[in-house]
Structure 1
Amino acid sequence: MSDRSPLLWGLYEQACIGNGSGAVSLWTHPADERLSALGLRYWLDLGRRAEEAGLDLFFFGDVLGLYDTYRGSADTALEWGVELPAHDPLLHIPALAAVTDHIAFGATVSTTYEHPFAHARRFSTLDHLTAGRIAWNIVTSYLPGAAANFGLDVIAHDTRYDRGDEFLDVVYRLWEGSWEQDAFIGSKAERRFADPAKVHQIDYRGSLFQVAGPHLSVPSPQRTPVLIQAGWSPRGREFAATHAELIFVGESDPVKIREGLADIRRRAEELGRDPSQIRAVVGLNQIVAPTRIAVQQKIDDFQSYYSSEAQLAAYAGWSGIDFSAYRDDEPLAKQQTNATQIAGTKPDTPPLLAGDVRRQFSKVTAFADDRFIGTPTEVADNVERFVDESGVDGFLIHQFISPGSLDEFTELLVPELRERGLFGGFPASGTLRSRLRDDRADLLPADHPAAAVRRG
């Protein structure tokens, strides 16, 4: 066992019934409780379970439109509830924070369809209400339906990141540059709320946004929430190198992950940032049972409630490719879409056929990594090997059925992970940023672009 830092373990969720992180159609399984996700009781129970399991982060993904690429309509997505209903995860977090003490929360919010002034106010509020346990997963949004919902056309992939850069410039000035750290007094004896001389308008005038300020919140425990980013394209890596503290890696090949993270950290160092403070987590779709026979029985059980059509509809939305338009023997050419960018096969390898994709998605384990399917000993061994090969700093658990997959992780896999020093040890108190950083600081460091606009 190497002298690695304690791993961060989180739960990936979406505020919906048809959660796309495992197998989107398994809400139909008799043991799955996601139909009750419309109400608060389900989320309070899941939050308590995640904290009792010793997890460090409760992460919410989110979408703002229907998955309507597959077969040219949203019918399949509606029939199977693909990432639906898409409720607002920010409204879940205060309730979860009220029944937990340690676990932190990450929420996905798009820079394309939000306004930075309102966004900054919401996240300052959440940072106060959670005592600094909040992170923002920065996305730029890719669904055409989402753009249409806001009366817009889809913005080109790289241009969305340009907008994101300006959005962040605005919120940094609100979070860091509007109120000086000691501007809030709150003194009954002095009968004084704040020092007006230490509260500043930002008077931002950019190409996209004009914001006067000042920010409407007093400085929160972290001021700026922990910044998570998942872009893996060249432009996404540039964006991450500039802003991100935690990378949510979408890649599954550990060698490619190590290379990609090295590229992001190299870019960050060139920008004057400390690359060692940029952490990374990757998704983990595990199926664990005491024996190999029990593992296969569980897979077969899941398969009987699985819809490949639902999963193809989800994947078509992510990639922007309508697989129904291809014959089985037709090769899928590399495509540069305005959706999440999906690379094709390399020139020196056989082309990927549409039939290959359909066969892959005929299995409930289409998105699961074989390394994380097996007995507790087998999976724990492979988790350790994956960490050493990839260099990631943690994992986000994706559930096949809820809360059964989380319970399976807690009861069967955690003891094996603890034995190897792979679970536990991540700080459980303080702000989320202080837990992530070596210096245990609550605020962004001086080498981050947000610090350049900080006053006082």
Structure 2
Amino acid sequence: MSAPRPLVVALYEQASVGCGGAPGLWTHPTDDRVGVNSLDRWRHVATTAQQAGLHALFLADVLGLYDVYEGSLDAAIGEAVEAPANDPFAYVPALAEVARDLAFVVTASTTYEHPFSLARRFATLDHLTGGRIGWNVVTSYLESAARSFGLEAQLAHADRYGRADEFLHVTHQLWETSWDDDAVVADKAGATWARPGSVRAVHHDGEHFRVHGPALTSPSPQRTPVLFQAGWSPRGREFGARHGEVLLLPVADPVKIRGGLDDVRGRAAALGRDPGDLRALALARVVVGRTEAEAQAKHEDLQSTYRLRAQLVSYSGDTGIDLSRYADDEPLSTVTNGLSSYVLKAGPGSPPLTAGEVRQRFSSVARGGDLFFVGTPDQVADAMGEHAAAAGLDGLILNPLLSPGTLEDFAELAVPALTARGLYDPAVKTGTLRSRVRGDGRDRLHPSYPALQPR
């Protein structure tokens, strides 16, 4: 039997008090998310993640407030459900300076950004960090975001993905074709910074965008930031097969994960990609203690400040369905422009959940169908390795229930046990984010990537 490959591990965070992974646990006495506006709080998170050898800090984001539950903003603001929603881009330069080897993945929406300005922003960050940047590509799902950007309602699901396809087409032209690799010569004696004729405008006239300028930034270390993508619907899988480099999996069942990955990789192969080029990470919650009793005590302690209402506010915002209006025995509507997979029992074609089933699913911090590891360092490490092998995963995104406590416990207790099993490399990571995630030293997109093929 071959030795296990070290897992890719990133830390999930959000520039909010009520982080999406645990919206009510900010009230726990040891949680410091109320310091969301303090750079000192974020410096500690970033430096701890770097010292623990994590591959990246993953910054989630939303562009609206969760105003579905009870038909009001009040519940979301009171419970701090993904609120406030600070701009994650603003944190990266400051944190990249204090954690000079940590990589960063930033969430940005193809529905409410413009490809020209976003390409410039990502390329600038990639330059300033020496290639430590990734983009979590999202299409957004909140009606409140649509209204804030001047729309009557959010775009339909298919239209959001159509816009996203075109968005990626434009950004790839700007990143990959507008400047030659050897355009910049920086010749002081010859008074020539870039070779004449080495920079060209892109000419795009599409359904959603018209772009006729050259990229404003020279080629960055990665050119294209590492592309993360989490869509799991049929249309989301098609998008991931075409554009994704790292797939983020919103399911816990290893059989469903492996089946879904086989589907996405099959779609990628049909597009001419090397299916082995795609990496897969699952979101995981971890509670680890020195003894089994200590781990269980930590787990039970979380329940003391767990707030079901906050979780229901989050669920209502995600799906666009106001759970406060449903009796326990009522099935949820499947007519939604939100995250429709959250409404069904087991995926496309399955019956809808009832409101009571949702409330029961989220009745404790251990519920919800999330990937959850609780135990001693050895128990957690064994379970992580077994799950990754069964599901065909390349790694995990650590979803901290408490911040910074979950990260600190993982670094102190879980990392040594994972390392002893060959499942983790505790060394501080160096090089570009793409080279870290791929593990083969490659800084640029794989040659089979569709955007690199002749048009």
1:181 corresponding residue in structure 2: 181
Q: Aligned pair count?
A: 452
Instruction: Name the TM-score, length of structure 1 as normaliser.
Output: 0.95
2-side partners of 1:169 and 1:17: how far apart? 35
Match of residue 432 from structure 2: 431
Other-structure match for 2:377: 376
Q: 1:433 and 1:426, CA in 2 relative to 1: closer, same or farther beyond 3 A?
A: farther
1:298 match: 298
Q: Which residue of 1 aligns with 2:172?
A: 172
Could you tell me how far apart the structure 1 residues matched to 2:158 and 2:351 are? 29
- Identity across matched positions, percent: 50
Q: Residue 317 in 1 paired to residue 338 in 2?
A: no
SS at match of 2:197: helix
**Number of the residue aligned with 1:253:** 253
- Aligned partner of 1:160 in structure 2 is 160
Q: Is the 8 A contact 1:173 1:453 kept in 2?
A: no
The 5-angstrom pairing of residues 9-408 of structure 1 reads 9-21=9-21, 23-152=22-151, 153-332=153-332, 335-342=334-341, 344-345=344-345, 352-367=353-368, 369=370, 372-408=373-409
SS in 1 for 2:175: helix
CA distance in 2, matches of 1:361, 1:355: 10
Q: CA deviation at 1:90?
A: 0.8
Distance 1:438 1:274, change over 3 A: farther
Secondary structure of 2:112's counterpart equals coil
1:434 alignment partner, SS class: helix
- Say whether the 8 Å CA contact 2:17–2:26 is kept in structure 1: yes
Matched residue of 1:231: which SS? Answer: coil
Once residues 332 and 310 of structure 2 are traced to their aligned partners in structure 1, the CA distance between those partners, rounded to angstroms, is: 20
Structure 1's 401 and 371: CA in aligned 2 closer, same or farther, altered over 3 A?
Answer: closer
Task: Work out the CA distance in 1 between the residues paired with 2:318 and 2:350.
Answer: 24
CA distance in 1, matches of 2:215, 2:306: 48
Q: Hey, what does 1:452 align to over in structure 2? A: 453
User: Over residues 385-442 of structure 1, what are the superposed CA-to-partner deviations in whole Å (9 max), with x where a residue is unaligned?
Assistant: 1011100100011111111111111111111111111111789222111223364221
After TM superposition, the score normalised by the length of structure 2 is 0.95
Post-superposition shift, 1:453? 6.4
Gaps (5+ residues) in structure 1? none
Partner AA of 1:11 in structure 2: L
Q: Structure 2: which amino acid aligns with 1:76?
A: A
How far did residue 148 of structure 1 move? Answer: 0.5
Contact 2:328 2:356 in 1 (8 A): yes
1:116-150 superposed Cα distances (whole Å, 9 cap, x missing partner): 11000000000001100100010000000000010
| Residues 326 and 354, structure 1, Cα contact 8 Å, conserved in 2 | yes
Q: Is the 8 A contact 1:71 1:324 kept in 2?
A: yes
Moved more, 208-217 or 288-297: 288-297
Residue deviations 1:184-219 (CA, integer Å, cap 9, x gap): 111212211111211101121111111111110011
Q: Deviations over 1:321-373 (max 9, x none)?
A: 2222221122346x252112225236999974322221232212234757501
Deviation at 1:57, TM superposition (A): 1.0
Q: 1:282 to 1:370 in 2, by over 3 A?
A: closer
Residue 226 of structure 1, CA deviation: 0.7
Deviations 1:31-51 (A, max 9, x none): 111111211111111100000
Letter of the structure 1 residue corresponding to residue 148 of structure 2: N
Cα distance in structure 1, aligned partners of 2:298 and 2:121: 42
Q: What residue identity is the alignment partner of 1:285? A: R
Q: Structure 2: which amino acid aligns with 1:390?
A: A
Q: Distance in 1 between matches of 2:427 and 2:284?
A: 18
Alignment check: 8 A CA contact 2:366 2:372 kept: no
Distance (whole Å) between structure 1 residues aligned to residue 438 and residue 406 of structure 2? 30
Query: Within 1, Cα distance between the matches of 2:448 and 2:141?
Result: 30
Give 1:95 shift.
Answer: 1.1
Q: Which moved more, 1:46-55 or 1:188-197?
A: 188-197
- Give me the CA root mean square deviation: 2.0
Give the SS at the match of 1:285: strand
Q: Provide closer, same or farther for how the CA distance between residues 368 and 2 of structure 1 changes in structure 2, counting only shifts above 3 A.
A: farther
Cα distance in 1, alignment partners of residues 142 and 356 from structure 2? 25
* Rounded Cα–Cα distance in structure 2 between residues aligned with 1:231 and 1:49: 30
